[in-house]
Structure formats: structure tokens, C-alpha cells
Structure 1
Amino acid sequence: MNIPVTSIHGIGPVKAEILKTEAGIETVEDLLYYIPRKYLDRSLIKPMVDCFSNEEVTVGGKIISVNLIRRRQILLQVDVSDGTDIVSAVFFGAAGFLQKLFNEGDFILLSGRINILRGKQIVHPDFDFIDESSDIKSVNTGRIIPLYRSTNSLKKNGFDSRGFRRLVKSVLEHYISRIEETIPESILNKYGLIRISDALKGIHFPDTIEHAEQSRMRLAFNEIYFFQYYILLLKKINNAVLPYSRTISAKAAEKFIKTLKFSLTNDQLRAVDEISADLNSPYPMNRLLQGDVGSGKTVVALAGAVITISRGRQAALMVPTEILAQQHYETSLKILPENIRTILITGSMTQKERKTAYEMISSGNADLVIGTHALIQSAVNFKQLGYIIIDEQHRFGVEQRGKLRTKGETPDLLVMTATPIPRSLSMTLYGDLDVSYIREKPADRLPVKTLAFPVSRLGGVYNSMRNYLKQGRQIFYVLPIIEESEKIDLKSAVETYNHLKDTVFTDMSVALLHGKIPQNEKDDIMLRFRKGEINILVSTTVIEVGIDIPNANVMVIEHSERFGLAQLHQLRGRVGRGEHQSFCILIHPEKISGDAEERIKILTESDDGFIISEKDLQLRGSGQLIGTRQHGFTDFEFADLGTDIDIIINARREAEIAISELQDMEEELNNIRHNRFNKQLKGLRHKRILSLLS
């Protein structure tokens, strides 16, 4: 329904512009999908005689008097009786205007907090007028009440929660019959789903909390179904036969593995086999390699590069930072066969170095090219790019990844992440990619011991740190912020840095790393830390991705209660990469919340990133309908990827069936791009969908 909001009574051009800029609402359909942020249960109407001070209540009765009272300021007092007692509704400001709304003998519902002052009263209550014999189909009281996201600008123009309730109710009354069903009747019956029109009514004005959840589940099914439909369609289209023939061979990877000075785990070998199978198929590879921190993803990815290079084609490895590019470059030189020519491209290269590198790439004299986003510059031209590895792929935008792919003729793509993704999330977000998992850690790697201490034990932690420093080890010291906050009483990284440097470890080299430091300075600090020139690195979470410092075997995290589970696990993964036993020490206040205590407990008991990511999704993404929903990982509006596992599985199954029955996939994709399925997209509003279709 592409009907502009100006078609709604009372919405002119000025208010329409406010709705557009502040809430993204331009059409009637936008408004229907502007879902409540939470609900208040006002369905229980309480006898006035049973109302007590400071209690949130909903009461109803007949207006017995309406009076303007002149004290320090004019106020309006509306006395309401239900036959058991009297409750007064009191209004300050605009009292004269409000007086015209109330008439003796009218029946009304009031909701708010009871005060006892010259009798029972509610100051500025929410209210609804009702018929004495009505079944109380109110908007603001006497039912489950939706609360909407609003801003100061919206509120000034009448679009607070009360205004949105009134507006949505009007739209539902006038336009709900025009809402088209988007899912086949057979699927609705199969899974016991309500119709889309009933779901939209129920999500805004549910009869019960259970009704709201039933409506959310239907809208979540829509969201997941069409999301899966689109990305599975793209997967089918992207899997078109390659425009060239592959030389079938698995020996290149086998020979490479035999030259390694270490043994691969079973998971690594399985992942290499999966990549090899892709590279021997007539279709381009589109694969996600998931591996826990320290599981050895890089060597697996390089095995694929060896296969591609053995066929005379080039490989590229793109990483988010120069320090990571340098690390991968050094690793490649150590483990790849000597005949593979590897070069490094970074933004800090001199003009002469850059020119030489570009010539090697374009002439085909560079087999493996490693670099940051500098790889996507127009001056970088490959002779025959056949294999792309993107490390920490979530750090790159779709446009950046796309630019790199255009530098080759249908190159194979392997994206890697060291952030384990829960199965439900992986299935949903990366349905267009095949997935390989590496859960095992190398056999010679000692697990990191994780300990938790209250802040009162910090002195003892300092003593332990000094012992490890005397042994020649290095230490990460992490905090969640870099400046004092008026709202959160946390020590800043700057203060901690000064304290450690000037008071506790005056004989040691202490450095500070945080998000406001320019990138070139960050890289310089990390390089010095890698070389052992820095003993203690005080940092915010900017170190969490990919840094490999084998000599650093202690990670201290202050205010660990402020971090998410997955974030803590990633930080912990920065240690435990050398031959010595490593430790992660979590410092927290004496008293912490139950959720924070649970997070810390999980981390001390498990070092499996996949288990931790599932727990993190459950803790951060489950949400509550009464209360603010917390989407820890995505911006889906209805689907909860922590708990809606059945919906995800069922919706994906039905999407796969629908795709398998399509006659012309290219035509279908073209229809989607031209908004034929606009009504489904309205239920998605998901950045990944829009980027995939662009």
C-alpha cells in the first residue's frame, strides 16, 4: 500500500515531513510497520476503593464533577466515581482547553499513579472516554497499551505514544482491508500462523500479551521467509556455471599440507577438503569460513590459494588493518612454497614501492597479493584474479567486497570471521554462502585460564602481573571507555594508563591505545608491542580483532561486567598464542547485576566460542515483549534470532521449496529489484537485503 501519509485525516505536508525525517514514515504501510517498542498492561480495571498510594492503576467510572481550581496556577480537577470511591484526574497547564473535553455524566477510564492528597488523585493520567455498556475498546487505557519510539520533534507535533496510538488505530480502521496476504494459505495452515492483517492489528493492539506474541511470530515468519527467499535466489543465480574450465586437481593442497611443520586438526582438514571441492566444481565458490579465535583459519584459506595459484591464476587476501596485513604477509612467507610470489600492498607504501607492486600484479608476477582496502583502488589491476580471501569480513562494506570481486572474472570467494556466529544467525544472515566450521584448537596450544576477581583484589592482580613481566612476558590491560562519563562511574583508559605508568609499574614500558588515536599511530604502537619494546599495553577494545602477539600471555579486563560475552571471548583470544600458559583476568565491582554475573560465569567455564556465541545471543537477543527488545546482532524488527529457531528453520525450508519451483530466476530477481515485492520488503527493512539487491 504505497499510500502517502497525507491521505490520513489530520496529516498535512508539515507533519508528513516530520514523520518522514524523524521516523522514516512516508506511507500508510510504513506506519503499520512502525511497531511498538514495548507494552504496558492496563487491562485490569481496579475498584477505586482498592487503590493505594504510589500504585500504577487503571480505574473507570462516571464523571461526577469538573472544576477549574485557582491556586498558584490554574489546574483542572475531574472527579470520577465507580461507586466504591472517588479518584480525581488533575491536569496542570492548558486547563481551560482540557475542561471542554470533560462533561459530567460521561464515562471514562483513567490510567496512572495514585497519589493521596485531599483524596485519591492521578496527575496527568492517560484517559479514554467509553460508553457505559461498551466492552472497553479503548486506545490508551483498559487494555494492553503499545508504547512507540518518539523524539522531541515528534512529540512537539503530537506524535508521542498517545498520538501514534490514535493514528495507528485510524489507519487500521480505514486501510486494514487492503492489506494483501503475502504467504500462501497452505503454509499458514501448516504452521498455525495468523493472517498478516490480523498480525498487524495484534502487534499494535493485542488483547493479551500472548496475542502480541502470536502476532510477532507471524511477522517474524514473514521477515525470515522473504529474507531467505531473496538470498537463496541470489545464491542460485551466483552459482551459474563458470565462464572457463577448471583443471581438476586436489594434489596441490595435499602437497602444501605435507610441507607444513605442524599438523592440521580434523576440522582444518575438513575445511580444506570443502574448499578443494568448491575449487574443483564448475561453479564459483562462495564460502564462509568460521573459526574460533586461534583455530587456524589462515592456513586453511591459504591452502585454497595454493590450488588457485597452481592453475596459473592469482589470489588476493584483504584485511581491515595494516598490522593484520603485515601479520598475514609474514605468515605466508613462512608457510607457503618458495615458488609462490607474495607481495604486500598498504596505504603507507612509498610511491616507488607502490608502482613496482602494481606492475607485478598487472603482469602476473605476483601470485598472492595481501593488503588492506588499498587492494580495491582503481590502480590495482590483476592479470588473472581467481581467488579472494576476505578476513574479518564484517569490517568491510558490501561495496568494498564487490569492488574486489570485479577485479577478476568470476573469482572464487572465501570470507573468514573469528567471531563465531550462532547457527540460527549464520543460517539467516549468510544463507547465500556455504559454511565451513573450525572448532578444534591446535593440539599444542594450551587453553587460556580465565579467572574473575572483584576490584578489591586488584592489588593482588598487580603483583601477579609483575611476576609475569619479570619472566619476560607482556600484558594487555583493557578497559571499556577512554573518557569519564557522567552517567557511568568508570575509570578511563587514560587515567589507568597514567596510574600504571607513574605509580605501579614505573620501571616498565607502558603504552596507551584507544579509538581516538590516528590509525598510523595505532599501527606503530602495535608494531612496538609485537617487537617486545612495550611491556604493558593499556587499551580499549580496539585490539579485539586479529592481533597476534605470542609473547603476551596475560589479558586483564577491568569493568568486565560492561562487555558482552562474545566481546570478552574475542579479547581473551588475543592471548594464548605462544608456548606459555596464558591467563585472562576479569575484574568487576563488588556488586554486579545477575546478567553480568552470568556472563562472567560462562566465560570462566567455557573457552568454546561457538557455545559462547549461542549463550550471548540468548542473553542479549531474546528480548521481552513487556520491556525494551534488545537485538544484539541484527536489525530485524520482529525475528528474535536467539529464540525463534523453529521459525527460522521452517521459514528457510519453505523458501527453499519456493525457489526450487521457480521457472525463471533472473526474471524473478528483476521483479524484486523493481519493487514487485515491495510489500514484503516493508516487513524487512534489513540492510543486508537492500545491499544484496543493489
Structure 2
Amino acid sequence: MNLNLEISKLKGVGPKTAEALNRCGIYTILDLLLYLPRDYEFINNEFSLEDFIEAEKYSIKCKFISVKSSLRVKNGKNLTTLIFNNGRYEIIGKWFNQPYIKNNFKKDEEVFLLGKVKVVNNRIEMINPIISKNLLQEREIIAKYSLRDAITNKTISKLIHLILDTIKIKENLPINLVKKYNLVSLDDAIRNIHFPESSDALKKSMNRLKFQELFTYSLKLLTIKEHLRNEKQGINFVMTQELSMFKECLPFQLTGAQNRAVREILMDQKRSYPMNRLVQGDVGSGKTIVAFIAAFNVYFNGYQVAFMAPTEILAEQHYQEALKLFEKFNVKVHLLTGSTKTANKNLIKEKLKNGEAAIVIGTHALIEDNVVFSNLGLVITDEQHRFGVNQRGKLINKNQAADVLVMSATPIPRTLALYLYNDLDISIIDELPPGRKKIETEYYNSSNRQQGYYKALEELKKGRQAYIVCPLIEENEKLDLRSIETLYEELKNTYFAGFSVAILHGKMNSKEKEEIMKEFKDGNINVLLATTVIEVGVNVPNASVMIIENAERFGLSQLHQLRGRVGRGQYQSYCILIAKAENNITRKRMEIMTKSNDGFFISEQDMKLRGTGMIFGTKQHGDTGFMIADVLRDGNILRAANIEAGLVYSSSRKEDILIKGEIIKQIEVSEKYICFN
């Protein structure tokens, strides 16, 4: 079977199903095989109160005894409660908004209930369990996929099964590597990632695919680096006299780390090959001004600068900062985003093409094919981890000779950064500007969350502002997470009655988000409830409190990023973590956040805490573009894969040359790091 065959050609896939699969990002047979599960359900058919695991699902055979009640609870939902017995335990089944459920049973009828088990007041409870007259699952581990439209798990599984029944996937790693690291075959890995035979088989399959992904990623970076050094002629920039004048006009002194980064960048700009440098710095360390200094020098050398940010909010903020910094030198700066009005957008594009526009700041709009530069000299991408190699490459291709400067505030342990960004030289800004007050971080169990809100109320009364971060937009009963809408209604009528409270989330359009952020910056909104859309770069000096609900749902690096939204002014600032501390790991993670403000230390602790053990659940879209690998959790795999990729890349062995060529050819076509024939 040709893996590049369109998905519509697969047996059983009609036009409507093909369209729905396309909307999931599945266009070919290969796309379907690499549509990895987002999670797994572990079905256990043997339940014991003494050793059950809350995270797992159980299929329990029991008898229906009676209807206990059917009533309307305080949130307006109907709750139906039924009593069952399995011979050893009484089981309370509760269903929300399914009043008809009580009519489905006869006295003493035997059924299977499938769901998670809780022990409440020494009683066994199951919330919204699935009901069957037969044993519900033949396998113990069920893959769960991200779904859209009419696509179901059953559809995905059926189609993948159909493909795997007709092919055997060819091994494409050097055999000596497969043996050295005791990796399962690529064929076994793909089969068990979708249809796990056991927990052990799933773990081995995930480790194989992580190695495959990181090995391929490393090969691509080595290819890019060699191409930049050996095949591309760069631009020889000089240090202009305006540059020293610009630095003297800055309203603050650069830190030692910032000066070091600037020197390294200016040295790169003098070289004959294009600069390809990462500036990695903690939240608030001042990476942006370093980038603006580089841009300023390129501008006065007579070249254009493209500065790409991951969100419109951040692009607008950089634009406003650039206008202020460059005003005295009459440097024209333009803003190009998805919401730029068509007439203005066309005008900016025309100016870029004919060389009238020198510095443009924007979002992904900058990588559109019809954005053409006259003489692009420098490409800057902010929050490098949010773009990935391929998106960055589209902007670089506007002029292959241009220098490239990428920035990231995501704290990654220094040793891992060297492997993850192997195509880049690295400058690390590990020093905060003087005068920055340490953000005081406090942690409260969710049962004591009111103490955090009282702290925020104290700050509001002083004239400060507050962020409240919530992980979801809508209520999720299964995860029991607080909805931003529910929280908004609660807070504006209780703790923050009399203050202006607003909501900001990713489902709003760009105009709505911009208006709300402007109102918050101007002080017209006192409390901003937001999802992680405010994670990166938002700068409101008067905001002194950050409350994070369900903090256990965020990674430590993400919590650190969110915390960095406060502490940007002259006032003492606070970050308040509200979490359900159901286990020691959660408590340790919260303690790390309360004890340290050093993002690099936090990321190292996070890696130690999480280790390289597997998570049962994979990512369809990771920050780095990986489908399954996590660079913090899988740091050891990254190191090994990077070293082995380097050996294969430089090898003169015929087998290694063929493997290298085939893998690089495939990733150039598919833009995926898990590749096979």
C-alpha cells in the first residue's frame, strides 16, 4: 500500500468521511497512521476495594437493587441515583441529566457498569458509568483520539486496523541502534501505539517513537546547520555609529548578560555566513531589547527586518515598544497581523516589496507567500518553541542570506537546549534587570482558595489589578475543572463585587481580545479572567496579582511563564496557586514554585520530578512540533538520539548514508519527524 495515497482512496472512506478526516489534519494513509492517540483508557475487569486505582476505569458486574432518588441539584442539573450490589459491595451509580436511566433496569437484573470508581464516606460511587448487559471491553487498553465532526474513535480504529492488516512497516533506523537501545521494531511500535497488547508493550512503543522522532529531528537540524555554514553566503554588517547613540539613549542600563548577548550577536552580524542564534532568557530578563538593538543595527546598514511573534497581543505590544524606542531616530515600524485591515495590509506589503518599509512586526501573516521583501537582512522570531523549524524556515526563505535571531523564555535546562536547538548558537540571559522585586508565590489547596482571593482583594483596594487564570472555557465534569464562565459569575458577585471584571480567551476574535487587553492596560478593567492566552509577553505594570486555578493541570514551566505576567512594575507582586493536592507529586511541584523564581532551576527540578517515565497519553501538537516526545520528560532520549544522529550524519558507511538520505527526504515532504516507508 502506498502510504502517500489520499485518505479518500481507502476502502470504507466516503466523501463525507474524507472531508471530516481532512479537518482532523488527515489527508493521506501516512497521516492516519501517525494520528497518535491523545490518551488511553485502562479497563480493569477485576475490581477490589483494597487495591483499586482512582485513575483507572473498571468494568464491574453487579445487580440492580433500587432507585434511590431523582432530583434537581443546585447547578440546575438533574441527578439520578441508583443502588447496585456486586455481592461484596454496595455501588452507588449517579447520572447527571439522564432521568430516563432509572427505567432501564429490572429488579435483580445483572449488568456491567464501566467507569471510574470513588470511595465517598466508605461507599463506592460511580459517576455517569456506561451500562452494558455484556462485558464491555475485550482489551485492557483503549486508544482515545482527538475527534471532530462525525469522526468517532471507532472510525479511526477501524481504518487504522484496515491499513495495518495489509502492510508491514519497514525498519528505517540503523540496526545497530535498534539493538544498542533495545528498541522494538518500527512496525511493532506503530501497531502497539494504536492497539496496545499490554502496558509494557505500550511503554516500549512510545519509547521507540520518541527516539525515532528526536533522532529524525536531530538529523534535520544538522542538515540545516551544515547548509547555513557551507552553502549560504551571508551579509557582512558593520557596527554603525547610530548604534552607540541608540544604546546611550536607552532609559535604562543593560545588564551584564544582555551586553554579552548583544556582543555575540554583533560578532555574528560581521561574519560571512548567516547568523543563526537563539537568545534564551528567563521571564523578564530583557530579551526583547537585545533583539531591538540587533534590528536597529541592521536597519542602519540599509536592510529590512522581520520580527514574528506568536500572538497578535504580543505583536502589538512589541510594535508599541519599538515605536517608542526608535522614535528619536525616525525609524519607521509597521505592524502586520491577521486582523490588519486589508487596505493597510496591502499597502504594507507593497512597501516591503519596494523597500520603503524597513522594520515589520507581525504574526504568522509574515510567512504568507505574498509577503515579499526587497532586501531582508534579519529575521527575528519570538517564543521560538511555538513556531518550530518548518514555520521558521518559511520566514527565512524570504531571503536565504538573512541573519536569524530566535528568542525563547521557556526555561529549558541548558544542557537540553544545546541538543534541542542544535542548529543554533545560543546566548543565555541569566540575569534579571536591577530593581526587579521577587514575586511572592503562595499555594493553597482548593478547599482554602478563598484565602487567595482575599489577598487579591487587598491589592485591588490599593489600586492594583489582578489576573485570574483558568484552564478551561467550559465546564468539564469529567475532570472537575473550574470553568472560566462559571468562575466569572462567581467572582463578580462575591469577592470582586464593585470592581470591573472581564474575560479573555482564545475563542474570542482578535478585535475583542485587543479591546479587552487595551482596557486592562488602561486600568479600566480591575480583574482579568483569562485562559493561557495571556501566557506570553503581556506587560501590564499595574497588575500585581496572578491567581492560577487548577494549577495542578499546568506544567511547571508554564506556571512560571504565567507568573511572569506580574512583577513588571514598581509594586510587590504575588502569584497564588490554587490546586487539588491529591498526591505527593502535586504538592512537591507547588513547593518548587513557592521556593524559586529561577526558570532554569524550575525546569531542571521539573525534569527530575517527572523523570523519563512515560505518560499514558500523547500530544497531537506539542510546543516544539513533536507528536509524542516531550523534551523535558524525555531529556535522556533527546541526548542519546542527538549523539547518534551526529554519528550517522558524519558516517561514511553506505548503510548510514542511505538511511540519512531517505529520512531527510521524507521529512522534507511530510514535515513530520516520525517517518517510514
Q: Same fold (TM over 0.5)?
A: yes
SS state at 2:328 partner: coil
Relative to structure 1, the CA distance from residue 546 to residue 154 in structure 2 (aligned partners, 3 Å threshold; closer, same or farther) is closer
Is the aligned partner of 1:293 residue 2:293? Answer: no
Unaligned ranges ≥5, structure 1: 6-11, 43-50, 57-111, 113-122, 128-139
What is the CA distance between 1:349 and its match in structure 2?
5.9
Conserved in 2, the CA contact under 8 Å of 1:445 and 1:577? Answer: yes
Q: In the aligned structure 1, how far is the partner of 2:365 from the partner of 2:33?
A: 43
Change (3 A) 1:423 1:214: farther
In 2, distance between residues paired with 1:365 and 1:262?
Answer: 31
Summarize deviations over 1:360-419 as a string: whole Å, max 9, x none.
545545432223445456775543221121223455587765554444463222222222
2:47 and 2:526 mapped to 1: Cα distance?
A: 62
CA distance, structure 2, for counterparts of residue 159 and residue 153 of structure 1: 11
Secondary structure of the residue aligned to 1:481 is coil
Q: Does the CA-based 8 Å contact 1:36-1:146 persist in structure 2?
A: no
Pick closer, same or farther for the CA change 1:280–1:557 going to 2, 3 Å: same
- Name the CA shift for 1:53/1:25 in 2 (closer, same or farther; >3 Å): farther
Cα offset for 1:606? 1.8
Task: Give the equivalent residue in structure 1 for 2:500.
Answer: 509
Deviations 1:661-690 (A, max 9, x none): 5799xx989954xx7966xx79x9873678
| Counterparts of 1:346 and 1:3, CA distance in 2 | 39
**Cross-structure match for 2:63:** none
| Aligned-pair CA distance for 1:464 | 3.2
Structure 2 counterparts to residues 492-507 of structure 1, below 5 A = 492-507=483-498
1:328-377 C-alpha deviation (Å, 9 max, x unpaired): 23322443473251323245666776677566545545432223445456
Structure 2: which amino acid aligns with 1:537?
L
Q: What letter is aligned with 1:237?
A: H
Q: How does 1:616-655 map to 2 (within 5 A)?
A: 616=606, 622-624=612-614, 627-628=616-617, 641-655=631-645
Residue identity opposite 2:523 in structure 1: G
Equivalent residue for 1:532?
Answer: 523
1:584-606: CA deviations, max 9, x gaps?
112335x5344432332221122
CA contact (8 A) 1:19 1:26 kept: no
1:235 alignment partner AA: K
The 3-state SS of whatever aligns with 2:401 is strand
Separation of aligned partners in 2, 1:237 and 1:408: 14
Measured after TM superposition, the shift of residue 494 of structure 1 is 3.0
Residue pair 1:513, 1:540 contacting (<8 A) in 2 also: yes
Query: Match for 1:483: what amino acid?
Result: E
Aligned length: 583
Tell me the CA shift for residue 521 of structure 1: 1.7
Structure 1 residues 17, 427: CA separation in 2 closer, same or farther (over 3 Å shift)?
Answer: farther
2:438 to 434, 447, 451: 447
Q: Which of 592, 607, 613 is residue 603 of structure 2 equivalent to? A: 613
Q: Cα distance, 1:313 vs. partner?
A: 1.1
Per-residue CA deviations over 1:1-22 (Å, capped at 9, x if unaligned) read: 85999xxxxxx94499999998
Corresponding residue number in structure 1 for 2:331: 341
From 327, 352, 363, give the equivalent of 2:317. 327
- 1:577 matched to 2:568: yes
Question: Partner of 2:539 in structure 1?
Answer: 548
The code of the aligned residue for 1:649 comes to: R
Secondary structure of the equivalent of 1:687? coil
User: What whole-Å deviation, never above 9, does each CA across 1:124-177 have from its counterpart, x for those lacking one?
Assistant: 6799xxxxxxxxxxxx99xxx87656899898799689x96x997x88xxx87x
Match of 1:557 among 542, 548, 554: 548
Identity %: 39
> Could you report, residue by residue, the CA deviation over 1:299-350 in whole angstroms, capped at 9, with x for unpaired residues?
1111211221232112122224444333223322443473251323245666
Amino acid at match of 1:273: R
Look up the match of 2:466. 475
CA apart distance, 1:540: 2.5
- Larger mean CA deviation between 352-361 and 263-272 belongs to 352-361
Residue 419 of structure 1 aligns to a residue whose secondary structure is: coil
- Give the secondary-structure state (helix, strand or coil) at the position aligned to 1:317: strand
Distance (Å, rounded) in 1 between the aligned partners of 2:43 and 2:659: 44
Contact 2:213 2:673 in 1 (8 A): no
Amino acid at match of 1:576: G
Counterpart-to-counterpart distance in 2, 1:496 and 1:205: 39
CA distance in 2, matches of 1:470, 1:153: 51
- TM-score, length basis structure 1: 0.67
Alignment deviations for residues 264-293 of structure 1 (CA, whole Å, 9 cap, x no partner) = 233322322232222122111223322221
Deviating more after overlay: 524-533 vs 228-237: 228-237
Kindly report which structure 2 residues correspond to 1:311-460, keeping only aligned pairs within 5 A, or say none: 311-336=301-326, 338-346=328-336, 361-362=352-353, 364-376=355-367, 381-395=372-386, 401-402=392-393, 404-408=395-399, 410-422=401-413, 426=417, 429-460=420-451
The answer as to whether partners of 1:37 and 1:146 remain within 8 angstroms in 2 is no
The answer as to 2:648 corresponding to 1:658 is yes
- Whether the aligned pair in 1 keeps the contact of 2:38 and 2:617 (CA below 8 Å) is no
Indicate conservation of the 8 Å contact 1:553/1:575, yes or no.
Answer: yes
